[in-house]
């Protein structure tokens, strides 16, 4: 399982400095890190819930489609970013958009969807 602080940074919910500040405060408190980050107005309650849920999944589970594409070497971060930008315009599934743009194959798409399904994402 991934550590909560690492996860909120990876998800873009907080910066490393913000997490380190919250961890310092946690040394003098009995509060959980997520609660501290919410109290500091760094995370919303919804972000805290999502991060908590993701932190309890097995290593590698709960990743977003685009992140899995990059992690498996199917595509680059910049291609995923272009796919996400396109997704905002047409409101479709990122996987289908990535196929249409020629960034991934149908087999790669299906492999990623199966990984996500295995972990209930």
Do the domain assignments include residue 60? no
pLDDT tens string 87-120: 888 888 999 999 999 999 999 999 888 887 766 5
pLDDT tens string 62-78: 567 888 888 888 999 89
Do the domain assignments include residue 25? yes
Q: Is the pLDDT assigned to residue 1 strictly greater than 60? A: no
Structure tokens given for 102: 């020629």
Domain with 37, as residue range(s), is 4-55
Are 80 and 70 a contacting pair, CB within 8 Å?
Answer: yes
Mean pLDDT to the nearest integer, 5-32: 91
Same domain, 81 and 36: no
Question: What pLDDT was estimated at residue 72?
Answer: 85
Are 69 and 98 a contacting pair, CB within 8 Å?
Answer: yes
Q: From 34, 55, 76, give the residue that closes a domain.
A: 55
Whose structure tokens read 């991060």? 51
Mean pLDDT to the nearest integer, 15-39: 93
């Amino acid at each position: 399982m991934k550590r909560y602080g690492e996860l909120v940074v990876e998800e873009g919910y907080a910066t490393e400095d913000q997490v380190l500040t919250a961890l310092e405060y946690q040394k003098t408190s009995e509060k959980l890190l997520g609660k501290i980050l919410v109290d500091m107005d760094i995370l919303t309650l919804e972000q805290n819930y999502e991060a908590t849920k993701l932190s309890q999944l097995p290593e590698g589970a709960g990743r977003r489609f685009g992140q899995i594409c990059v992690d498996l070497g199917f595509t680059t971060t910049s291609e995923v970013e272009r796919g996400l930008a396109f997704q905002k315009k047409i409101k479709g599934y990122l996987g289908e958009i990535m196929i249409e743009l020629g960034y991934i194959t149908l087999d790669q798409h299906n492999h990623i969807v199966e990984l996500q399904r295995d972990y209930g994402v």
